[in-house]
Amino acid sequence: MHHSVALKDEGMNLSKKEHVKEKKTKPDELVVLWTSGDREVALKMAFMYTFNSKRFKWGWKNVTLIVWGPSSKLLAEDKELQEHIVNMKDAGVKLQACKKCSDLYGVSEDLRRLGIEVKYMGKSLTDYLRDENCKVITI
């Protein structure tokens, strides 16, 4: 037996405008969480993408580099990487470092001298991760 069901409008006449989903705005903040102690990873990916994202304005209003873990020790010991950090800062990249990690490596003051904001980052990272206007990549 075939049953047909009539659907009623129930007075819910929706305009075309209401049928179109609101266009979401794209995130405009990039956070690069640099954790690797590998120098090649820093030079060939983390620094290159971070710097060029800001330099060429690839759709990011704000670009932040967070130095966390083994990367803090590497940065404190490597003059060439330090030069790249200065260039990023001059280009307008916001620089932050995890204080707990840099304290463990004994390099907090070295990072501060490079113009990096050294602070406890757990809450800040959580805020970045939860922010719909922000994209976080980990390297």
Q: According to the model, what pLDDT value does residue 7 have?
A: 47
Reply yes or no on whether the pLDDT at 12 is more than 60.
no
pLDDT band at 2 (very low <50, low <70, confident <90, very high): low
Comparing C-alpha atoms, which of 139, 135, 116, 138 is closest to residue 61?
A: 135
- Looking at residue 15, its pLDDT comes to 52
Examine the pLDDT at 45 and tell me if it is beyond 90: yes
Q: Tens of pLDDT along 69-97? A: 999 999 999 999 999 999 999 999 999 99
- What tokens does 90 get? 């001059």
Domains and CATH numbers, the chain: 35-138 (3.40.1260.10)
The more confident residue out of 32 and 24 is 32
Give the pLDDT confidence score for residue 121 in this predicted structure: 98
Give the confidence band of 21 by pLDDT, cuts at 50, 70, 90: low
Instruction: Extract the tokens encoding 88.
Output: 């990023």
User: Ranked by mean pLDDT, which of 7-11, 18-22, 46-50 comes out on top?
Assistant: 46-50
pLDDT tens, 87-135? 999 999 999 999 999 999 999 999 999 999 999 999 999 999 999 999 9
Binning pLDDT at 50, 70 and 90, where does residue 25 land? confident
